[in-house]
Amino acid sequence: MSRSNGLYVIIGILVVAVIGLGAYIFHEESKPQGVEMSIDKNGVSIKQN
């Protein structure tokens, strides 16, 4: 019985890892491409994505 429980734990960990990786990739792909400009108390900053 403990062997099958260990298998379920491994499968669960893999499922969580795949979902986490998918969410990370989706977040990175949805970032806007180009130049990001911001103005704050330190002045103007420009970053290229």
- Cα(46)–Cα(13) distance, rounded to whole angstroms? 40
Domain count, the chain: 1
Which residue range(s) make up the domain with 41? 2-48
In the chain, how many H helices and how many E strands? 1, 2
In this prediction, residue 18 carries a pLDDT of 97
Q: Is the pLDDT of residue 29 over 90?
A: no
Average pLDDT over residues 7-18: 95
In this prediction, residue 1 carries a pLDDT of 56
Q: What helix, strand, coil percent values describe the chain, rounded to 5?
A: 55, 25, 20
CA distance to 5, 25, 31, 41, 42, per residue, from 28 (Å): 35, 5, 6, 28, 27
In this prediction, residue 35 carries a pLDDT of 83
Q: What is the pTM of this model?
A: 0.59
